[in-house]
């Protein structure tokens, strides 16, 4: 994803999904107060995958806009 300019977002933060990011990068973007914050950790990817490191995926993420807190719950489906 190409990050938008500060002028384009007018001081707002864009939260997005649909493209899988590893949890460490999601946390890094939150801590940096990035203009774009990905929230897709590939909840369905809990087994070996041809492109993704499944040990760094498989969580459902929720973001608290008031506290900038992240909740990441591991997929419990077997």
Instruction: State pLDDT tens for residues 38-74.
Output: 999 999 999 999 999 999 999 999 999 999 999 999 9
Write the pLDDT tens digit of every residue in 2-44.
767 778 778 888 999 999 999 999 999 999 999 899 999 999 9
Q: Report in angstroms the alpha-carbon separations of 45 from 14, 27, 30, 70.
A: 24, 19, 22, 19
40 Rama class: left (phi>0) / alpha (psi -120 to 50) / beta? beta
CA distance 30 to 60: 16
Fill in the DSSP letter of residue 68. Answer: T
């Amino acid at each position: 994803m190409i990050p938008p300019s500060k002028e384009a977002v007018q001081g707002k933060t864009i939260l997005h999904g649909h493209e899988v990011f590893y949890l460490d990068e999601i946390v890094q973007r939150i801590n940096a107060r990035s203009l774009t914050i990905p929230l897709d950790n590939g909840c369905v990817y809990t087994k070996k995958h041809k492109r993704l490191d499944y040990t760094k995926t498989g969580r459902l993420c929720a973001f608290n806009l008031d506290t900038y807190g992240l909740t990441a719950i591991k997929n419990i489906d077997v």
